[in-house]
């Protein structure tokens, strides 16, 4: 099989490329090497055919799709963003880029797609209150300023966080989240129109060797790891008790291969889209992540600042039961093992904060 990985020179895309090569696939990478993601030229396996270009460029995408049987679409602008001025770039990079890719796939007769989606499409995670399972409204500014970080129910009652599954309501609460959900909707429309098969993988907090450093668009694990490497204490927002599911990038790569196999299954229904959470199944607090990294790296203890970012959610943790049951996927790297490795693993070269 010839596989096209968009964004294949990036953090997650690169791990998928390595995993695909390891099982004997022929891999082509399409990547723009944009400056706010890459600190220099990538080191790609010599077996990889590399095409430098943007997924918004229909001509380049058409060339990259020649002879391809399946696509892993990882190219995207990620993270919460600096401020709302990032909105046009998120919409263009993620929504327009996906539309151009899907149109080119339709023209080329490529019918198999694995799409990188995100937990952010849910907004807040799932909670249980006095009246049962519920989804709280966005947190109020006055509560955040007062250090009241946990969402409450409609009558002010406390809520207990639970695992979220793929059938829970979707409630994207920032521009990045909206763009990821739009990618899913576009892919579903493409599948129905062309008879294609798409699997959308809703990644939870991915970490591991090769994460980008020193960029406001990086994930929290990278920001903590970069601070420790600079000899600084990791700065933990809110009270550090935000619940997340941290999943190793190698496990995300194996989930992509399982999803690719699902799109190839003989006798399966055509024209369908299926979403899966990709998480470790372990719940850990953000403060716990910072403390584990500092301990394994011999760095300074984290500082809990009480600061917050509008648009952040309080708790979101995954149920990956559907992915395990339907595709036979299992995560292989436990939290403490992954943190021990990540504490001293190399990061990508520092990048510029603004795209060019």
From its phi and psi, is residue 287 left (phi > 0), alpha (psi between -120 and 50) or beta? alpha
Q: Which residue has the higher pLDDT, 350 or 226?
A: 226
Query: What is the per-residue pLDDT for 268?
Result: 59
**Per-residue model confidence as pLDDT tens digits over 53-109:** 999 999 999 999 999 999 999 999 988 777 889 999 999 999 999 999 999 999 999
The answer to the question of residue 6 being in a domain is yes
- What are the φ/ψ torsions at residue 117 (nearest 5 degrees)? -105, -160
Average pLDDT over every residue of 164-171: 94
The answer to the question of residue 38 being in a domain is yes
| Distances 176 to 47, 54, 244, 297, 298 between C-alpha atoms, Å | 33, 19, 18, 32, 34
Give residue 356's pLDDT band: very low, low, confident or very high (50, 70, 90): very low
* Mean pLDDT, rounded, of the chain: 92
As a whole-number percent, the residues of the chain with pLDDT over 70 amount to 94
Cβ(314)–Cβ(149) below 8 Å: yes
Query: What is the per-residue pLDDT for 311?
Result: 77
pLDDT of 336 above 70: yes
Number of separate domains in the chain: 1
The answer to the question of residue 152 being in a domain is no
The answer to the question of residue 134 being in a domain is no
Distance CA 71, CA 127 (A): 35
pLDDT of 351 above 70: no
- Per the structure, the complete domain to which residue 279 belongs is given by 2-125+164-343
Query: What is the per-residue pLDDT for 39?
Result: 61
- The SS3 of residue 203 is strand
CATH number at residue 11: 3.40.50.720
The answer to the question of residue 209 being in a domain is yes
The answer to the question of residue 148 being in a domain is no
């Amino acid at each position: 099989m010839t596989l096209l990985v968009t964004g294949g020179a990036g953090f997650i895309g690169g791990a998928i490329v390595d995993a695909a090569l390891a099982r004997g696939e022929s891999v082509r990478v399409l990547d723009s090497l944009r400056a706010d993601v890459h600190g220099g030229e990538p080191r790609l396996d010599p077996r990889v055919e590399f095409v430098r270009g943007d997924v918004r460029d229909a001509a380049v995408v058409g060339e990259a799709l020649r002879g391809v049987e399946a696509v892993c679409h990882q190219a995207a602008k990620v993270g919460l963003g600096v401020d709302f001025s990032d909105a046009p770039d998120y919409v263009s990079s993620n929504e327009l880029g996906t539309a151009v890719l899907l149109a080119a796939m339709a023209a080329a007769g490529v019918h198999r797609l694995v799409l990188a989606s995100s937990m952010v499409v849910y907004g807040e995670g799932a909670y249980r209150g006095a009246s049962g399972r519920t989804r709280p409204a966005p947190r109020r500014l006055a509560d955040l300023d007062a250090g009241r970080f946990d969402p409450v129910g409609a009558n002010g009652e406390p809520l207990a966080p639970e695992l979220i599954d793929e059938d829970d309501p979707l409630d994207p609460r920032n521009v990045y989240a909206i763009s990821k959900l739009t990618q899913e909707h576009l892919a579903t429309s493409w599948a129905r129109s062309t008879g294609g098969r798409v699997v959308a993988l809703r990644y939870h907090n991915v970490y591991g060797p090769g994460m980008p450093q020193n960029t406001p668009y990086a994930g929290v694990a990278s920001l903590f790891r970069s601070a420790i490497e600079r000899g600084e204490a990791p700065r933990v927002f809110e009270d550090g008790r935000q619940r997340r599911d941290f999943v190793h990038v190698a496990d995300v790569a194996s989930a992509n291969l399982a999803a690719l196999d699902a799109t190839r299954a003989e006798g399966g229904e055509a024209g369908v889209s299926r979403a899966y959470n990709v998480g470790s199944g372990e719940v850990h607090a953000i403060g716990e992540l910072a403390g584990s990294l500092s301990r394994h790296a011999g760095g300074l203890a984290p500082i809990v600042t009480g600061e917050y970012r509008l648009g952040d959610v309080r708790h979101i943790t995954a149920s990956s039961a559907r992915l395990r049951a339907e595709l036979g996927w299992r995560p292989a790297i436990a939290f403490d093992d992954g943190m021990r490795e990540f504490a001293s693993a190399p990061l990508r070269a520092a990048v510029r904060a603004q795209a060019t």
